[in-house]
A and B are shown apart, each in its own frame.
Chain A
Amino acid sequence: MNTPMRVILIALLAVSMGACSKKVKEVSPPAVVATPTETVAPVVIDDGRYDASDLDSDACLRQRVVYFDFDKAEVKAEAQAVLACHGKYLKDLPGARMTLEGHADERGSREYNLGLGERRGNAVSGALQANGGTAAQITVNSYGEERPTCSESSEDCWAKNRRVEIVYTKAQ
């Protein structure tokens, strides 16, 4: 960390401590504290690479479920950002391993849905590899329609069950 940065951090720390102690006594304007924090904080912590602790703290990496349309295995646009960060994680931590659990909703036959769950898992695996992961880091395991998270026969419930769950088996 360079010297000017350290100075800013210490200054920030002092301001925030001051804010805390002041709060006890009387009202203070909070806006003064908030503005500099927003501009500085990302620059400080982000070295551009993930580490294992990010799995629990990073807002993107904490998203572990990808949803699909009925009888489809195409990864939807809305899932691309999540798969990009998990792909990057696999790239940053080559020792990381994950299982992609493929699932289908209850409609249609069970063995066909086992195939459909695998197809969805493969689609997610492909997207992760396009974002820096390798095939050796990823195992696809289809459960078909056998492990629903929701047991009602409704569109809402079916949408929740058509999914691939990302399960890390080794963080780094």
Chain B
Amino acid sequence: MHATLKRLLGLLSCCFFVAVASAQTLSIDIVNGSPSARPIAVVPMAYEGGGLPLDTDISAVISADLNRSGQFKALARDDIIEYPVRQSEVKFPTWRMLKQDHLVIGRVLDAGAGTVRIEFELHDVATQARLLGLAVGGRRSDLRGAAHQIADFIYEKITGVRGAFWTRMAYVTSTGLGKNTQYALMVADSDGYSPQVVVRSQEPLMSPAWSPDSKKLAYVSFERGSSTIYMQELTTGSRQILASFRGINGAPAFSPDGSKLALTLSQTGNPEIYLMDLANRQTTRLTKHFAIDTEPVWMPDGQTLVFTSDRAGKPQLYQVPVAGGEASRITFQGEYNARATIAGDGNKIAMAQGAGNVYRIAVLDRSRGGAEWTQLSPGSLDESPSFAPNGSMVLYAAREGKRGVLYAVSVDGRVRQRLVLADGDVREPAWSPFRQR
């Protein structure tokens, strides 16, 4: 009797867990690949400790990260025919025959108190040189985090650019329609795994923005009846209201040094850009125009804001000095340009670009002095682009049928991946800054 009950309870809890997990996890598939991607073999890592087998396939996580960047093509697991664990076991002719440029091998050791030590090596197949030999520590409960850090080391060693796999994203989900809609602000790993609820609401949630230390999110909630800007600590969940003026309180964006918030307020009758000093909550008005001025984002030097304004009739991007002054228009191609996101070096600005009923993500590159445009997405209702902190990829939201899905696209537009929530509508992805080790 007791045993039966126990088994039944076990069965129930197992099913419940599965249901919850499938309702929240983003599933990912590659939409297209890049022919110029570098071939790399990431050999499954041996667990050399004495505990239970690991619940995470570390090399699979690393391979998926490298594939998603568009810069690499990881060798399929079925094509791996040898399993070296240390340098002395590597037979380079095998990997040359498999046309691999690089080889990653490694092993996992127990490090006590629920932690492991992952030793890995990166080899150049052509020269047989060992490019990296490092160890990364981690909790057994966060092996995916350790794997993302290893992928970052490999990415940086080969491309010369800091990796951004060990980062997170915030996004908003909704289920239901009309007054019965349920909203949630979520945070997940940059690959969509390990989603966690930051806040749930019966009223709309919008516009998540990361603090530069990635410890806080600012966002817009309608739970008080009209738009209000909140700031919430991710670890403690404690939060405070930053702005609840009459009218719109929207589009929060932390300054690069974290001392200020740019935001949109319509307390004077129409939306204007303001700066808030986060130490004393004093606001300063930055724009003064009867048009809609909104969606401020900071240039990396913290001296200039880029924002959306329809002062010329349709929404276009403008920039204005933080110290005050005239706004000047920066987009002259496309009839509708809005919601800017700026890459780390400040030269690339991605935005939602509309023409007729088609909205795509486009990138304006000003690094060579002019204005070079690249279209990153096919449309037709793509919006809310967000650059990875290393500028290599962009997350954005798209519509498929009646629901929103997220895509990650390489900054050259060559590789796209789709991140789908099993249930409901996903939108407004915001890529976190680099995490501090």
Contacts and interface: CB of A to CB of B under 8 A. Distances in A.
Contacts of A114: 206, 227, 248, 250, 264, 271, 294
A119 interface: yes
Interface in A65-109: 71, 106-109
- The 4 A-B pairs at the shortest CB distance, nearest first, are namely A115-B292, A146-B204, A109-B338, A109-B339
Interface stretch (B28-36, B65-73, B298-306, B351-359): B351-359
Given A111-B250, A115-B264, 12 more contacts: A108-B359, A108-B383, A109-B295, A110-B427, A112-B292, A114-B264, A115-B270, A115-B271, A118-B271, A141-B226, A147-B204, A149-B178
A108 B178 contact: no
A51 B383 CA distance: 47
Contacts of B399: 106, 153
Given A142-B227, A147-B204, A111 B222 contact: no
A140 B227 CA distance: 12
Nearest to A117: B248
Nearest to A141: B226
A151 B269 CA distance: 30
Contacts of A142: 227, 248
Contacts of A149: 177-178
A107 B354 contact: yes
A118 B206 contact: no
B431 interface: no
Contacts of A107: 354, 357, 359, 381
Interface residues of A, number: 26
B178 A112 contact: no
10 contacts: A109-B339, A110-B207, A110-B428, A111-B339, A112-B339, A114-B206, A114-B264, A114-B294, A115-B294, A149-B178
B292 A108 contact: no
A109 B315 contact: yes
B377 interface: no
Contacts of A106: 381, 399
B336 A108 contact: yes
Given A108-B338, A111-B250, A153 B269 contact: no
A65 to B, nearest CB: 13
Contacts, number: 96
A116 interface: yes
A147 B181 CA distance: 8
A132 interface: no
Contact of B270 (A119, A144, A148): A119
Contact of A152 (B225, B250, B357, B402): B402
A60 to B, nearest CB: 25
B255 interface: no
Given A118-B247, A143-B222, A111 B308 contact: yes
Interface in B261-308: 264, 266, 269-271, 292, 294-295, 308
B201 to A, nearest CB: 11
Interface of A: 71, 106-112, 114-116, 118-119, 122, 140-144, 146-149, 151-153
A153 B405 CA distance: 14
Contacts of B308: 109, 111-112
A111 B263 CA distance: 11
A108 B270 contact: no
A108 B354 contact: yes
A111 B359 contact: no
B215 interface: no
Interface in B201-237: 204, 206-207, 222, 225-227
B251 interface: yes
A147 B178 contact: yes
B314 interface: yes
B310 interface: yes
Contacts of B354: 107-108
A153 B382 CA distance: 12
Contact of A112 (B222, B315, B428): B315
Contacts of A143: 204, 222
A88 to B, nearest CB: 25
A114 to B, nearest CB: 5
Contact of A111 (B226, B295, B310, B357): B295
Contact of B177 (A111, A118, A148): A148
Nearest to B385: A109
Interface string B310-326: 10001100000000000
A118 B207 contact: no
Given A107-B354, A141-B226, A148-B177, A118 B402 contact: no
Given A112-B315, A152-B402, A146 B222 contact: yes
Nearest to A110: B206
B24 interface: no
Contacts of A115: 248, 264, 266, 270-271, 292, 294
A98 to B, nearest CB: 14
B384 interface: yes
